[in-house]
Structure 1
Amino acid sequence: MESGMFEDEFQNDGSFLHDEFEDGENFEDTENETSDATDDPKRQDLNGEVTERRMWAKQVPKLPVTEQIIVPFKGNQPVGTDIDGLLGQYLGRLASNHKLLPISFKKWPEVVKTYKDWVWEKHIKVKFWWEPIHEAAARTSFMMDMGKKWRENRIRLFHTKFDKTLSREENIRNPPLSIPPTEWAAFIDYRLEEDTMKKSKQNAANRAKLTITIPVALRN
C-alpha cells in the first residue's frame, strides 16, 4: 500500500485513532523480549518534586498523569544507566504496536506524520521529561530509535508469521490477530516484491560474511 493512500485518508488531527490508545493501554509484548527492562529512573511530579523508584517498561503507560520520567541529555543524546533499558524497551513496545504505527507502509520515512505525531504527543511527551532545550534532539533521537525497531519488528513478523509452505492468498487469509487484514495483505505484497526479496537475500548474505574479532590478552 502506497503512503499516499494513507495521506489522503488521514489528513486530520488524529481523531481517527481510537480511545484504546490512551494511557491505560496494555501494549502487547514484542516477540524478541525475554524479559521486561527494569531501571531506577528519576521521576518528577507537577510541583517539580523528584523521586526515584524501580520501574518496568510495561508500567510506563500506567504512570500517573501527574508524574513524568526524567531523561537526562548530553549533547543531542539521552544518557544515564538509570533510564537506558527502560526507555529503549518502551520505545520498542510503541514501535511494535501495529495500531499505533501500521506495518503497511513500505519504509519508516513513509509512515504518515500524523501517526508519529500522535505517538510523540500521547505516548512519549506525557510520560517523559527533559530540559526544553533538548526538545528537538529528543524527538530526533527517539524517532530514529523507533524507526529502527519498527523495521526490525516487520522483519521478525514476516519470518515468524509468513508460512512459506502456503500460497500468498492463504497467508493473506491468516493475519496475526492484532493486524487488520488489509494491512497484512499490503505488508505481504511488499515483502513478496522481487526487489524486496532481492534486498533481503543480499542483506542475509552480508550478515553471514560478518566476523567479530575479539582481542585476547595472553600471558606466558
Structure 2
Amino acid sequence: MFTALVVASFFMPDIPSSDSPAEDIAAQLAADNTAHRLSLLLGFLADVAFLVFLAGLWSRLRRWEGPAGMFAALILAAGAAFVTLMLISGGLHLALVQYASGGQPDPAVLPALTDLNQWVGAAILPPSVAMFLGATVAILTTRALPRWLGWLAAATAVLQLISLAGVFQTTVEGVVGIAAFSGFLLFLVWVLATSVVLLLRPGQQPAGA
C-alpha cells in the first residue's frame, strides 16, 4: 500500500519553486487546488501504511536480535523520525494550499513556506540513512530476513548518503542526481520486497527461542 500510494503521488502536481513570485505560487496552487488536496490525502495514507510496515519490521527484528537489540531500536527511532518529518512536510504543504486559496497572499509568506517544505524534505534523508544502516546490520547479523534484503538495504543507504551532498547544491544533477533518484527507487523496492517477505514468512522464531 505504501509503495502504491507513493507511486500514485508521482502523478500529482509539484509544489511551485520558492524562486517564483508569491502571486505566481498562489496562482499555481489555486489552479491545482483539488489535485494538491488529493496529494495530501495520499501522503497521509502512505504515512499510516509505513507506520504499519515499520511496526511489523521492528517486531520481527527485535524478536531475533533480543529485547536489548540496538539495531532494531535504531530502525524504530529513525523510522519514527522519518514519518514525523513526512507529516511536518505535509503540514507545510497544507498551509501553502490553505493560505494560497485564502485571498491576497503576503509576498513573504508563500516563498518562506515553500523553502521550509524543501528543507524539511532534505532533513528526511539522515533518518532514512540511519534506518537502512540499522536494517543492514540487523538483517545480516541475525538472518531474521533473507541476506539479499540486507545487502539491498546497504546499497540504498549508500546511495542516500551520496545524495545528501545535493542538500548543499542549488541544482541536483550528475552523480548526486543519479544517486538520489536511484536511492529513492531502491527505497520503494526494498519496502515492497520486505513487506512481501514479512507476509510470506510470518511468525518465524530464531533458533533456540
TM-score range, shorter chain: under 0.3
TM-score (norm 2): 0.26
More strand by share: 1
Larger radius of gyration: 1
* Structure with more helix by fraction: 2
